[in-house]
Amino acid sequence: MTDLPTGTVTLLFTDIEGSTRLLHTLGPRYRDALEHHRALLRDAFVSQGTEVDTQGDAFFYAFPTPRKALQAAVKAQKALQDHPWPQGAELRVRMGIHTGTPEVTDEGYVGADVHLAARICAAAWGGQILTSPTTASHLSSAPDLTLRPLGPHVLKDIENPVELFQVIAPGLRADFPPPRTTGSHPTNLPARPKPLIGRDQELSTLTELLTTPEVSLGD
């Protein structure tokens, strides 16, 4: 494996939104589209980043600074937007970026920072770039990029809500639905009832009422 940058690094994950649907749409031409997608991303990433891993339609890159990671991500999104995809199909890639200090092993990076970056990517929509607050804190003075705060979001398997930021840059789509996170898709399921643990006074009062002959639960 290529020597990976150590210390504080910025991790970038990508994957294609709706790749299965795109496969059915393009049929045999999907393979060519996938190869063009890989070439465009590598062209945007390789000069400033290090390829950590690739699986299927997903990439994992590491960059020495947050700014270089975001510049590469913006370059890649613009290239994807401008590419003439076959049969009028739109190949949209979501990207998630987080800055941290992952542990380097013989197999690559490991640790909570890797999982967080991957979950941020999973929360994005195709064509969107999301970052963690750690990455955003390094980019407050970037003249060519704007970071739009999206508020705290619950990410799968991440204990605490994470403040997410969307990268806004000239030429990139900026209007997206809320991030694809646990709290983004409300259902009609009832709220989980509050536990009775620690409510001794209420339990005592309820028990007393239920055992009093004068109290009836009927009409």
In tens, the pLDDT along 156-173 reads 989 899 999 999 999 999
| HEC secondary structure over 193-207 | CCCCCCCHHHHHHHH
pLDDT mean over 48-56: 92
Token pair in block for residue 74: 């913006």
75 touches 21 (CB < 8 A): no
Residue 43 has pLDDT above 90, yes or no: yes
User: 139: closest CA among 172, 175, 165?
Assistant: 165
Please give the pLDDT value at position 219: 47
Cα gap 183→152, rounded to integer Å: 10
pLDDT mean over 42-59: 93
In tens, the pLDDT along 22-31 reads 988 889 999 9
CA dist 171 → 75, 85, 165 (Å) = 10, 18, 18
Q: pLDDT-based confidence at 149, cuts 50/70/90?
A: very high
Least confident of 1-15, 128-142, 188-202: 188-202
pTM here? 0.81
**CATH topology (fold) of 9-184:** Alpha-Beta Plaits (3.30.70)
94 touches 121 (CB < 8 A): yes
Please give the pLDDT value at position 82: 93
Please give the pLDDT value at position 145: 82
Q: pLDDT-based confidence at 74, cuts 50/70/90?
A: very high
In tens, the pLDDT along 173-214 reads 999 999 998 765 444 444 344 444 555 565 565 556 556 555
Residue 104 has pLDDT above 70, yes or no: yes
Please give the pLDDT value at position 199: 56
Residue ranges of domains in the chain: 9-184
Q: pLDDT-based confidence at 3, cuts 50/70/90?
A: confident
Please give the pLDDT value at position 140: 63
Q: What is the mean pLDDT of the chain?
A: 85
pLDDT mean over 124-149: 88
Token pair in block for residue 79: 């290239």
Please give the pLDDT value at position 88: 74
Please give the pLDDT value at position 183: 60
